[in-house]
Amino acid sequence: MLFQRIVPEPEQPEAFPADYEKIVVKTLHGLEGVLATELENLGAIAVRPLKRAVECRGDKKIIYRICYESRLALRVLVHIHGITAYNEKNLYHAIKEVDWDQYLDVNDSLAIDSVVAGKVFTHSHYVSLLTKDAIVDQFREKYNRRPDVNLDNPTLRINVRINASQCDILLDASGDSLHKRGYRRDSVEAPLNEVLAAGMIALSGWNGETSFADPMCGSGTLAIEAAMVAVKQPPQFFRDVPFGFIKWKNFDKMLWQTVKKDADNQRNKDISIKIVASDINPRARNAASINALAAGLDGVINIEKRAFEQADAPDSSGTLIINPPYDERLRLSEVEVFYKMMGDTFKKNWSGWSAWVITSNKEAMKSVGLRASRRIELINGSLECTYQRFDMYKGKKGHVEDESGAANTEVPSEE
């Protein structure tokens, strides 16, 4: 089911200010809850988590704010029309009835993305073609000319979402996906998607006020996303591709400049916490340095070449997030040794810290040898992963309870 509803529809329809649009914000699996909170903080109302998306209401200012300031959104889609269609003819005519002059000029270009679910429409590509035909036929009948299709850089990106006979038409305010922050200039193997990295940080509860470390940093995504939180830098501060809404007919340049200025004014690189990224591989350290510089965060992140087993905690407490090699191709015995090394190092060098580890290798995770106080299911690329939290208490052998209330007897002892 498309955008499956997690929270049921309210029984009474809610009243919204007239200029509040219905917005669907897409994200990654597992980040719906943290995105919902972020959207509320950005001013959205009627926020409801869906599957890999969150629905909300907001005016133009909120739409601009989400595009510029959301760390957890992949795309921001603004609903313009809802149609019931039982066959192709219905769909074609209903789309042709929308006044497309409101959104597009004959000299503009368009691209259409469709997602279909249910038995009425089964081919998304066909729905895109039908939608394009309905729109361009409307223009041809009025002006004897038609807008072109441009899949890479259109004036207007249109989303058609069909679930059984319910068809929703939305406009993509983000343009290119919002995981593109403009700072990834170099990478080593298996970099995290920027939105997933920001989501892992949000799920950890880290808010930029305590120290942060990623001791297997690769190209530095987690440390860069963390540093942006700490210095209150908008995630799109260095975006090098235009937002979709900038090409819309109703674009409000003054409002956009105010939104951008207000967000940019929060940026403050004068922070007292430590943000450390390290990796055993010198290529990773170089890539992380290049990316941190491109993100304007040189001097904020301390980047080192160091093996995790030799890295000391940079502070007496903080949050440590690791995206280690999953290495499902390695022999289990080697993977077990590696994951056991992580658990031993947490105990030995990181007391007072919360450690979070993401991996698709659930068998290997058992070798960490500590009881997780939280487990979250995430998807990294196509890999189903577990993201687990281990609390490294200070002092003598401690006591911690996991989600089920079971006591952890493996809590680290003071060395």
Binding positions for ligand SAM, rule: CB under 6 A: 187-192, 215-219, 221-222, 279-281, 284, 307-309, 323-325
**Between residues 264 and 363, which has the closer beta carbon with respect to ligand SAM?**
363
| 222 vs 368 by CB, closer to ligand SAM | 222
Q: At what angle do helices 221-230 and 282-294 cross, to 10 degrees?
A: 30
Q: How far is the CB of 60 from ligand SAM (least distance, A)?
A: 34
Report which residue's Cβ sits closest to ligand SAM: 218
d(CA 386, CA 372): 11
Q: How far is the CB of 362 from ligand SAM (least distance, A)?
A: 16
- 293-299 — which CB contacts under 8 Å span 24+ positions? 294/182, 294/183, 294/184, 294/185, 294/238, 295/181, 295/183, 295/224, 295/227, 295/228, 295/233, 295/237, 295/238, 296/233, 296/237, 296/238, 297/224, 297/227, 297/228, 297/231, 297/233, 297/269, 299/269
Q: Which long-range contacts (CB under 8 A, 24 or more apart) does 265-268 make?
A: 266/232, 266/234, 267/231, 267/232, 267/233, 267/234, 267/237, 268/231, 268/232
Give the residue with the Cβ less far from ligand SAM, 337 or 406.
337
From the CB of 340, what's the least distance to ligand SAM, in Å?
Answer: 12
Widest CA span of the chain, in angstroms? 81
Minimum gap (Å) between residue 326 Cβ and ligand SAM: 7
Residue pair 353/392 in contact (Cβ under 8 Å)? The answer is yes
Minimum distance, C-beta of residue 318 to ligand SAM, in the bound complex (Å)? 17
Unique residue bearing structure tokens 């305010």: 173
Q: Shortest distance, CB of residue 191 to ligand SAM, whole angstroms?
A: 4
d(CA 88, CA 129): 11
CA distance 211 to 349: 15
Tokens of 311: 């890295």
Q: Enumerate residues 6+ apart whose C-beta is below 8 A from 323.
A: 190, 192, 200, 214, 216, 218, 222, 358, 380
In the complex with ligand SAM, which residue's Cβ is closer, 175 or 191? Answer: 191
CB of 368 to ligand SAM, least distance (A): 14
Minimum CB separation of residue 315 from ligand SAM in Å reads: 19
Nearest to 229 by CA among 27, 32, 41, 13: 41
Residue closer to ligand SAM by CB (options 14, 334) is 334
Which one, 189 or 334, has the nearer CB to ligand SAM?
A: 189
CB 114 within 8 A of CB 162: yes
Going by C-alpha positions, the residue among 121, 109, 178 that lies closest to residue 145 is: 109
At closest approach, how far in Å is the CB of 330 from ligand SAM?
11
- For residues 300 and 231, the answer to whether their CB atoms sit within 8 Å is yes
CB closer to ligand SAM, 218 vs 235 = 218
Q: How far apart are CA 128 and CA 171, in angstroms?
A: 14
Run of H or E residues at 294: helix 282-294
Residue 237 Cβ, how far from ligand SAM at the closest point, in Å?
A: 19
Of 164 and 188, the one with the shorter C-beta distance to ligand SAM is: 188
Nearer to ligand SAM, 54 or 217 (CB): 217
**Which one, 307 or 330, has the nearer CB to ligand SAM?**
307
